[in-house]
Chains A and B, each alone.
Chain A
Amino acid sequence: MTQHIDSVKTYAVIWISLLILTGVTTAVAFVDLGPFSVIVALSIAVVKMMLVALFFMHLRHSGKVTQLAMAATVLWLGIMVAFTFADVATRGWMGVPGR
């Protein structure tokens, strides 16, 4: 059990940052960045996730095992997406009879 108490100011700064990021991501969505629209939107989402996890969920004060477990979760999720796409994206490459 961590007993590291952050100041209200820290939380307020994180909260305001999250609201600003929400505004930014909404505004940027109307700008045509081509394929980068997805990248920008998801990058901002990842930053917001990190802010919530590290500060609001106190992950930066948590033990190493907890931090490792959460990092591993993101990694495994990435592996799941990557392998699924390795399948879905390449299915049509070889002319499989009957398909």
Chain B
Amino acid sequence: MWVFLITEVMFFGGMFLAYIVYRAAYPDIFALASSSLNVYIGAANTAVLLCSSFTMVLGVRAAQLGQKKALAINIVLTLLLGFVFLGVKAFEWREKFIEHHVPGPSFHFEGVAMQGPAQLFFSLYFAMTGLHALHMVIGAGIMTWLLINAIRGRYSADYMTPVDIGGLYWHFVDIIWIFLFPLFYLIDRHLK
């Protein structure tokens, strides 16, 4: 599982690199575009995801101790928090469609002469948050599968490797968001 996570780091790493390069090339426009994102929603969603990591780790702990009921409850909570995160993300994306901040023919970002770099920012925003959300959806699938097996009583203190690995994946996706949040929402906020 750790090896898979290493490949994932490189997968996301390439996109982070693309973001860094273009942000260095067009700092002013990226700052303006970044400031148009709602930082409070972003921070709240970060908190939701951190809470889901907390319930996940409690679930893994319950599995280690063989507490089947606590395991199922914590997986359900993790799943619910994951859906809250995705729901908020969907709401944020919807706002972008209304504001014409989605890259494409109807794209328009107010107050900048060069629309190209602004589109680039939102392309990266959608690609990276979208890829992250896809990981969340896959994570929700893994959680559902773990939940079904947990309810069936398949996991015990002697056999809980799937829970452990599912937890590693969930925390990894959390870490990706820990970096996406400051890069997209925070670092140019003071310039506005």
User: In the complex the two chains form, is A81's CB within 8 Å of B20's CB?
Assistant: yes
In this complex, how many residues of chain B approach chain A with their Cβ under 8 Å: the count is 47
Main secondary structure of the interface of B (DSSP, over half): helix
Chain B residues with CB below 8 A from A85, complex form:
20-21, 24
B43 part of interface (Cβ distance < 8 Å): yes
B17 part of interface (Cβ distance < 8 Å): yes
Which of chain A's residues 1-36 have a Cβ closer than 8 Å to chain B? 1, 3, 5-6, 8, 11-12, 14-15, 18-19, 22-23, 25-26, 29-33
Number of A-B pairs whose CB atoms are under 8 Å?
Answer: 120
CA distance A25 to B40 in the complex (A): 12
How many chain A residues sit at the interface, stated as a range, is: 35 or more
User: In the complex the two chains form, is B171's CB within 8 Å of A84's CB?
Assistant: no
Chain A residues with CB below 8 A from B6, complex form:
69-70, 73
Chain B residues with CB below 8 A from A80, complex form:
13, 17
A77 part of interface (Cβ distance < 8 Å): yes
User: In the complex the two chains form, is B58's CB within 8 Å of A52's CB?
Assistant: no
User: In the complex the two chains form, is A8's CB within 8 Å of B58's CB?
Assistant: yes
Interface string of B58-77 (1 = CB under 8 A from A): 10010011000000000000
User: A41-B186, A56-B56, A77-B13 are known contacts. Are A22 and B43 too (CB-CB below 8 A)?
Assistant: yes
A88 part of interface (Cβ distance < 8 Å): yes
Q: Which 6 A-B pairs have the closest CB atoms?
A: A41-B182, A29-B186, A15-B54, A29-B189, A32-B190, A26-B43
Q: Residues of B at under 8 Å CB distance from A?
A: 2-3, 6, 9-10, 13, 16-17, 20-21, 24-25, 39-40, 43, 46-47, 50-51, 53-54, 56-58, 61, 64-65, 161, 164, 167-168, 171-172, 174-175, 178-179, 181-183, 185-191
Extra 16 A-B pairs, beta carbons < 8 Å, given A70-B2, A81-B16: A5-B65, A14-B54, A26-B43, A30-B190, A33-B190, A41-B183, A44-B182, A48-B178, A49-B175, A52-B175, A56-B53, A56-B167, A56-B174, A66-B2, A73-B9, A84-B21
